[in-house]
Amino acid sequence: MQVQLTTNILKANDAIAALNRKLFLEKKIFVVNIMSSPGAGKTTILEKLLPMLPQDIKAAVIEGDLTTTKDAERIEKTGVYAVQINTLGGCHLDANMINQVLEKLPLEEINLLIIENVGNLVCPAGFDLGEDLKMVVLSVTEGNDKPVKYPVIFREAKVAVLNKIDLLNYVDFDIKQYEEDLNMLNPEQIRFNVSSRTGEGLDDLAKFLVEKVRAKRDGV
Amino acid sequence: MQVQLTTNILKANDAIAALNRKLFLEKKIFVVNIMSSPGAGKTTILEKLLPMLPQDIKAAVIEGDLTTTKDAERIEKTGVYAVQINTLGGCHLDANMINQVLEKLPLEEINLLIIENVGNLVCPAGFDLGEDLKMVVLSVTEGNDKPVKYPVIFREAKVAVLNKIDLLNYVDFDIKQYEEDLNMLNPEQIRFNVSSRTGEGLDDLAKFLVEKVRAKRDGV
């Protein structure tokens, strides 16, 4: 019974996600869905990354949170347009929530839409939003055992970002084990090791995203 | 429709939680439900804390995880009996999951049961397990904005533990703001600032728990 319900909810979600994806294709907007635990540094990465993007990349951000508009306010300080979705207790965004805020976004002007999901390593993994790319962020302070403990989200993510590498000397994080575990779960995954505090590694991540945005815009 | 369903699930959960609570009262077992983001340090705190407990405190641990038995194995190395519950994707434990593993626990021999919930700052908050005390753990690396962004769990927790204070010099964490925000959400909350790495502050937490366990055991 419960499984049946979950299936129905996911079917409805997938139908709306398909509508979102069709619209993003028409408008040539590349869409990234960023997921992580609370406090892994999603917003801080965006604060550093958005100002690094070249002039031809026009971005907007959708911020998902249970409550508060804190993250959207932080993003808007970078000069990038941000819309906040409050899930009022819900542990993830779904395709319908995204669909309902699309009219608030300048879709004719942007070519990159970044969706920052609710801080959660479990719930967001199962919900397609219509994005081109799922990105998971893990911080070294969370421990290298997280991919095997939360395998669904790390398997789904085309890109894995390891954040807070400036703290590697102060925590017990086995990068080799982390990479081996990810290779088991998702051998095709693209990986970046960054510090949202010092900015290290973010240039590579920015370059990767810029290439993806231009390829979709130019129909390559 | 969805709200109705949630209400029914919570009603069923509360009924089983009441059964659990009745049993824990009969057996004079003090029960703690520990919740946090993935990687905040719940298991590491237990690894340090359990060996600090005096001889008259007989503990067992229930470990909740999506998959793997890694955490239960870590706990058993301390000499404390541990049972693993795998939620197979579920983002929290519920009262029925607890009820179903009770027969595996030496209930006649223990007076402290620690339940380590699935790493998640959202889902576990709404589910009563029959515990005496909810404890939330936040690590300084996650940022001081988490209580206002995840208010339900911080409001529900009688005890808030701030972990990884050994990293305070390397991260931007405003302890004053954190405490002010918690005072708004939950003025009665008891707080401990600890480092699961160096052990700092864990003696106070252990002392607090020992008093609670003895009070329930002795019917005070």
The pLDDT value given to residue A58: 97
Of A55, A17, A47, the closest CA to residue A132 belongs to: A17
In a domain, B1, yes or no: no
In chain B, the number of structural domains is 1
In a domain, A150, yes or no: yes
In a domain, A5, yes or no: no
Is A65 an 8 Å CB contact of chain B? Answer: yes
Residue B194: pLDDT over 70: yes
- What is the distance between the alpha carbons of residues B29 and B213, in angstroms, rounded to a whole number? 7
Is B174 an 8 Å CB contact of chain A? Answer: no
pLDDT band at B89 (very low <50, low <70, confident <90, very high): confident
pLDDT band at B1 (very low <50, low <70, confident <90, very high): very low
Name the minimum distance, in Å, from the CA of A212 to any CA of chain B: 30
> Shortest CB distance from A65 goes to which of B65, B149, B171?
B149
State which residues form the domain around B44. 11-217
pLDDT band at B4 (very low <50, low <70, confident <90, very high): very low
In a domain, A2, yes or no: no
Interchain proximity B70–A119, CB inside 8 Å: no
- What is the distance between the alpha carbons of residues A145 and A15, in angstroms, rounded to a whole number? 34
Name the minimum distance, in Å, from the CA of B104 to any CA of chain A: 23
B contacts of A120 (beta carbons < 8 Å)? 91, 120-122
All residue ranges of chain A with pLDDT < 50 are 1-4
Own/partner long-range contacts of A85-91 (Cβ < 8 Å, ≥24 apart): A87/A118, A89/B122, A89/B126, A89/B152, A90/A66, A90/A118, A90/B122, A91/A118, A91/A120, A91/A122, A91/A123, A91/A124, A91/B91, A91/B120, A91/B122, A91/B123
The pLDDT value given to residue A7: 67
Q: What is the pLDDT of residues A4-59, one digit of tens each?
A: 455 677 888 999 999 999 999 999 999 999 999 999 999 999 999 999 999 999 99
Residue B95: pLDDT over 70: yes
Residue B3: pLDDT over 50: no
- Helix B42-49 and helix B202-217, axial crossing angle in degrees, nearest 10: 70
Q: Compute the mean pLDDT over every residue in chain B, rounded to the nearest whole number.
A: 94
The pLDDT value given to residue B2: 37
Interchain proximity A139–B39, CB inside 8 Å: yes
Query: CA distances (Å), A90 to each of A85, A86, A155, A202, A211, in order?
Result: 11, 8, 23, 30, 33
B contacts of A63 (beta carbons < 8 Å)? none
> Shortest CB distance from B65 goes to which of A5, A149, A164?
A149
The pLDDT value given to residue A115: 98
The pLDDT value given to residue A93: 96
- CATH number, residue A202: 3.40.50.300
Who's near A76: CB < 8 A, 6+ residues apart? Answer: A82
The pLDDT value given to residue B185: 97
- What is the distance between the alpha carbons of residues B65 and B188, in angstroms, rounded to a whole number? 30
Choose the mutation target among A141, A166, A167 for the interface with B, i.e. most B CBs under 10 Å. A141
pLDDT band at B88 (very low <50, low <70, confident <90, very high): confident
In a domain, A50, yes or no: yes
Of A1, A9, A218, A210, the closest CA to residue A112 belongs to: A210
In a domain, A15, yes or no: yes
Q: Average of pLDDT values for B164-182?
A: 97
In a domain, B76, yes or no: yes
Interchain proximity B39–A119, CB inside 8 Å: no
Who's near B17: CB < 8 A, 6+ residues apart? Answer: B95, B127, B128, B129, B130
The pLDDT value given to residue B75: 96
Choose the mutation target among B1, B6, B120, B148 for the interface with A, i.e. most A CBs under 10 Å. B120
